[in-house]
A and B are shown apart, each in its own frame.
Chain A
């Protein structure tokens, strides 16, 4: 059996297959989630996984989850990130997922989602905020983190992405150092994420997932703000897709068992 997890995020789509074939890949979501789903289907078929076959069970998650018409189940990104996060951090942990358009804090106890928080109606404290600011500074996201680590934080006071962008334009106009502006941008996102995380009592183990989890620098800044170690992992962006693939396996096995009875 092949178990496939597809996480169509607002910025990137992540795919994990387990069981028969073990593979993972990522691609930009683009403007059309349905087309993205078709590209994913083709790439999986090339790798020997046929999502249309009865021998494949697929769970779709993420913002574009409804666009995956071949999915056997649709599960929210909260549940999937939690399930994937458990693989990285164990059964009692907090998972902080900073995604393209939302940030989630998920509390997991004994392997079950116990509580979660999500940002609403505002993109401050998300990957989108970083992306817009990096664009404004004319650099990539990776470069933003790289130069931020060499800068001194310039305060960005506005919580609104649009107003924060104008603040940055003013800094550029004043001829401030790009490193310092970058440090200010990262600091502002980390502060917003920390603020949300601190609204709940956090366990010992805290794991960063989502697109930003590759950045050790971001994890460090976030740890400082939360006052507790936030771990990161190079595969954190796959947490949702991995969780979806595992849930696909667990769900279909549970169903098979139910049918036996």
Chain B
């Protein structure tokens, strides 16, 4: 497949993907295809895909429903949890509305307690995610994945075979390989495209229901970017930034914008819209599909794990491979695990990697854009 459209147009299409999929989700529903909604990168999509269900991310990214959520949840809670709950309870999110089941995991304390309330008005399947990545944790996570499979089999009266799961693994791995190829274009120095545009594709692609279509589309985009780069179309040379921390999207894209409005360029995303959820593949050669899935997902380096060495491993690799000049960590207000872990990240970035680090705490409002700009501009002036 060849991209004939101009790059900006392609980027905008990806940016619109979430909205466009609102219609697709209804069409799927009308065709009788089950919809499985999820909130987290730990969600083993392949199990739901194996039975022909469509999966969709439900994390909300706007402050629109936070006041309603605060009727039930404390004010001083992470905006992602409040907003997601708010969209759920007000039925304002079409993805949530059309989901036959919503899968949650015992990730952070705020989320797992919120799911208790959500279960009062929606089918919620809660998977018990271990706190650590030891062998015992792996055993538990594997049994949870099997329990989830059995739940789906009962609920939808289907059988999910290992061959179907294996096929789903192959489909998702192919998507991951292509998305990885895409973000790897940023290894070029100067970078070929803006970090904001890369983000549109990474984020938008998570709302594509047709997973099989991702590789061809993304590969064509990569080829086009590489071709233009070879012809000399590229960004100016700027301080190269790695973004890490809490999930980013929607309202919090203000941080990416602040970085790129103030003289920097985001060359890589370590958080769960970026490398964290794409970097590792599921082992296709492992004869035990459940073991393969459990290992792949449990090894995600999120701050809910203790200890959390995989985050440092990935971040260290990204800093080297993308010639990163500075690290910006996005902390959502009242996100305890990422906020506490930020000292460890700062020490790692400053001492082990010898580059500057800044953390910015923010929420889903637009009230702090002035301060964000000053802070991030000053940080980029340091580089």
Contacts and interface: CB of A to CB of B under 8 A. Distances in A.
Contacts of B377: 76
A75 B377 CA distance: 8
Contacts of B367: 121
Chain B interface helix/strand/loop/mixed: helix
A174 interface: no
A118 B371 contact: yes
Contacts of A118: 371, 374-375
A121 B381 contact: no
A230 interface: no
Given A76-B374, A76-B377, A120 B368 contact: yes
A76 B380 CA distance: 10
B306 to A, nearest CB: 24
A78 B381 contact: yes
B381 A77 contact: no
Which range holds the interface residue count of chain B?
10 to 19
B4 interface: no
Contacts of B381: 75-76, 78-79, 113
Which range holds the interface residue count of chain A?
10 to 19
Nearest to B380: A76
A47 interface: no
Query: Which has the most chain B C-beta neighbours within 10 Å: A78, A115, A120?
Result: A120
Contacts of A78: 374, 378, 381
Interface in B121-154: none
B340 to A, nearest CB: 14
Contacts of B368: 120-121
Contacts of A114: 356, 382
Contacts of B371: 118, 120-121
B367 to A, nearest CB: 7
A112 interface: yes
Interface string A60-80: 000000000000000111110
B27 to A, nearest CB: 44
Interface string A114-134: 111010110000000000000
A28 B356 CA distance: 36
Contacts of A76: 374, 377-378, 381
A200 B356 CA distance: 15
29 contacts: A75-B381, A76-B374, A76-B377, A76-B378, A76-B381, A77-B374, A77-B378, A78-B374, A78-B378, A78-B381, A79-B378, A79-B381, A112-B382, A113-B378, A113-B381, A113-B382, A114-B356, A114-B382, A115-B356, A116-B378, A118-B371, A118-B374, A118-B375, A120-B361, A120-B368, A120-B371, A121-B367, A121-B368, A121-B371
Given A79-B381, A118-B375, 15 more contacts: A75-B381, A76-B374, A76-B377, A78-B374, A78-B381, A79-B382, A113-B378, A113-B381, A114-B356, A114-B382, A115-B356, A118-B371, A120-B361, A120-B368, A121-B368
